[in-house]
Structure 1
Amino acid sequence: MERKVKLTVWGEISVNKIVLTEEKETLLIPLLGKARENEKQNPILIDKKSSEIVKQIDYDFESLKIPEKTNILMCIRAKLMDNYVTSFLSDNENSIALHLGCGLDSRYIRIKNNNVNWFDLDYKEVIGIRQHFFNETDKYHMIASSVTEPEWIKIIPQEKGHYIIIAEGLFMYLKENEIKELISRLKDRIGNYTLIFDAYSKLTAKNANNHPSLKKTGARINWGIDDPAELANWGLGIQLIDEVYFTDYEGNNTLNTSTKIMFKIANMLSIAKKAHRLLIYKIDGK
């Protein structure tokens, strides 16, 4: 049976009740993680917007039972992605960025780049919540659609600029054929682009469905990958650029002693460091 959860979103002059189901509810996990981290004296990620949003949503966040380790890894994931996207936009003026499965993330605000043409995409219900907290401009846009639907892609402009596609906490919920189709549709629409996403290993993907937070929402993990070079065999002009491990995170002054020790041990074990990491690809649109 599909799980449904009702949220009450408190705005300045209105109150709105919104229903989320299964994987849509998982957007609350990284939102809370970033809000908790933001309250720390020396946070991995500074994200005032997440704290603002959490305070305006009536939901039993504690029922998600998010372990501190998960919070830390989610914030490191976001920070490493922010760093890469910031560098990409700095090197490529007048770029187009597409954030797939954006949830209630505020990356566009954190990066603070006035030249990028930015598109945030998520389900209609999720965008309905975002519209309470984010305003569209001539540079910032929201698209209400499932990522697997084909029609939304026509909204993305076909320009000669540099494209970066961001998928944070998304691909593991999709099936492999859905990821292939998405990469192919983007290639047909915009040509060359850079793709950055986080991925589980196959073992982590298998075990992740036992995570207490996921069990609470009813969402399911469907995809993991061990060898990132495998994507080159999909015949879509995919080239691996980098594999970034969370355990290599260099912001040691923001980590407690037990986390530093955990990362050192994980770095000595390939199965541990590859359990969850960032993958970066170039897609040749020719």
Structure 2
Amino acid sequence: MHRWQPELGLIQETLLLTLYARALDATQPSPILGDTLSADLADKIDYDFPRLKVKPNLIATTALRAKKLDDVVRAYTTAHPGCVVLDLGCGLDTRMSRCDPPPSVDWYDIDFPEVVNLRSECLPGPSHLVGADLTTSGWLAAIPGDRPAMIVAEGLLPFMPGDSFQTMTRELAGHFPSGELALNGYTRFAAWAMKYHPTIKALGIKAAQGFDDPREPESWGAGLELIEEQILTRAPEVDRFPQPLRALTRLTARSTALSRQGARILRYRF
């Protein structure tokens, strides 16, 4: 069996972390996401995954946030079958396969050029691949701007320096006539604390971007309006978390302030 040997920078290497977490979830007796395609893909990549020190809480929260973002995408593409979907910082995510959008949807997977090159080799599919540094401008020229857009940014916010995420959001909202933006929102503390997490520390990455108030993006000048904040500690899928993580998560769910330091899904319309 051929095995791919990815040659990636530190930031790009985080795609292997989330891939491995989804793969491990798929092997659980009661998986949350059940992404068997990610499990198959991880088996075909020549990489020392154990060095990432992925713990049960990361497996569970990664799978849960992916599942909730998938639900948002499915709902939007069902309501807008002529839309475009942008998966920003897509890595080796299999979201298009999981969501199975209508054939009339144009799906764009966007990441660094070296990432999309790897993706085209080991995860071919019907999506349009766009190689771009999202902190720069100009890459949107490759994407039609005359249709509604569903924009997903999973795990992207903490790794974009300065105000580049806000700038990108303004450009996206200005490019399309309407749409939604869905992301997993990190508080400032959660983003700061990421660099001390064993998995992130193992890669040598320092993450720092986040915001506390879910309505803060409404002030970015992008015309965003908050639709929903999902506190994932209160999701029914927590019943599938392993113990003692399940009990701890249920305890945390009693406090909105504490729950926001974990995983939450934010949806905005523009």
Unmatched 5+ stretches in structure 2 = none
**1:74-113 superposed Cα distances (whole Å, 9 cap, x missing partner):** 1001011111111111122222100000010000000112
Give, as a single letter, the amino acid of the residue that structure 2 aligns with 1:134.
L
Please state how far the C-alpha of 1:236 moved relative to its aligned partner: 2.2
| TM-score where L is the length of structure 2 | 0.93
* Alpha-carbon spacing, 1:252–1:264, altered in 2? closer, same or farther (3 Å): closer
How many positions carry a matched residue from both structures? 268
Matches within 5 A, 1:141-180: 141-159=128-146, 161-180=147-166
**Corresponding residue SS for 1:20:** coil
Name the residue aligned to 2:217: 231
Name the residue aligned to 1:24: 12
After TM superposition, what 4+ stretches of structure 1 lie above 2 angstroms from structure 2? 15-18, 133-137, 251-260
**1:35-71 superposed Cα distances (whole Å, 9 cap, x missing partner):** 1111122210121211111111111100011111111
Name the residue aligned to 1:254: 240
Name the residue aligned to 2:48: 60
**1:231-261 superposed Cα distances (whole Å, 9 cap, x missing partner):** 2222221111111111121125533343332
Name the residue aligned to 2:106: 117
Unmatched 5+ stretches in structure 1 = 1-9
**Corresponding residue SS for 2:227:** strand
Name the residue aligned to 2:172: 186
Give, as a single letter, the amino acid of the residue that structure 1 aligns with 2:74.
T
> What CA distance in whole angstroms lies between the structure 2 residues aligned with 1:17 and 1:67?
24
Structure with the largest fraction of strand: 1
**Corresponding residue SS for 2:98:** helix
Give, as a single letter, the amino acid of the residue that structure 1 aligns with 2:111.
D
Give, as a single letter, the amino acid of the residue that structure 2 aligns with 1:123.
F
Task: Report if aligned partners of 1:172, 1:199 keep a CA contact under 8 Å in 2.
Answer: no
**Corresponding residue SS for 1:97:** strand
Task: Determine which of 80, 85, 101 is the counterpart of 1:92.
Answer: 80
Identity %: 27
> What CA distance in whole angstroms lies between the structure 2 residues aligned with 1:32 and 1:183?
28
**Corresponding residue SS for 1:102:** coil
Task: Determine which of 223, 226, 229 is the counterpart of 1:243.
Answer: 229
